[in-house]
Amino acid sequence: MAVRPILIAGDPRLSAPALPVTEFDDELAAFVDDLFETNTAAHGAGLAANQVGDPRAVFVYDLIDDSVRHRGCVINPVLETSEVPETMPDPDDDLEGCLSVPGEWFPTGRADWARVTGVDVTGAPITVEGTGYLARCLQHETDHLRGRLYLSRLIGRNQRAARRMIKDQNWTVPGNSWLPDGTR
């Protein structure tokens, strides 16, 4: 297992839709182990394959919601949600962050409920369903695999603040990454 560099906003690999996984082998299992190790080292709730530069439709999640730990991997996910609010998100309750936007948090509107269907690392069908933080994570990671960062969901002053932050951080060029050990 290895901790991999995490791409930062501005890299075109983060905006490319993921490719379906068709081979379920030892290499895929080792890659999923790397995703879990990288996510843990980065103190993340989830990590999608394209965040480490891999084009496959794979994400892992590992989080605690309402005192319950949720941990798993979804391959080739299909997302269903309840209605996504169109109003300004609550600045206290709707904060969202991303390992590809390190150190930044913005209020982001998400559906209260989400279900993801897909397959596990062996190709067996799985379904993950949740509310609250788990629902937010499932939506966030599925967005990654569609080539969409959460920053694109921001509205109003939050959207303007994110644009300024991207420019100030010089994240407008490809190739920026960081390792969970703090190096860039």
Interatomic CA distance for residues 19 and 143, integer angstroms: 13
Residue 148 CA: distances (Å) to CA of 50, 127, 173: 11, 22, 17
Whether residue 139 contacts residue 109, with contact meaning beta carbons closer than 8 Å, is answered with no
- For tokens 């299909």, the residue is 78
Q: What angle do CA 83, 86, 90 make, to 5 degrees?
A: 105
Cα–chain-centroid distance for residue 128?
15
Q: Binding residue per annotation — 98?
A: yes
Whether residue 6 contacts residue 52, with contact meaning beta carbons closer than 8 Å, is answered with yes
Q: Annotated catalytic, 141?
A: yes
Whether residue 142 contacts residue 59, with contact meaning beta carbons closer than 8 Å, is answered with yes
Whether residue 148 contacts residue 55, with contact meaning beta carbons closer than 8 Å, is answered with no
- Active-site residue among 37, 86, 104, 141? 141
DSSP assignment of 3-20: --PEE-TT-GGGGSPPBP
Question: Could you tell me which residues are annotated as the binding site for Fe cation?
Answer: 98, 140, 144
Catalytic residues: 141
Question: Could you tell me which residues are annotated as the binding site?
Answer: 98, 140, 144
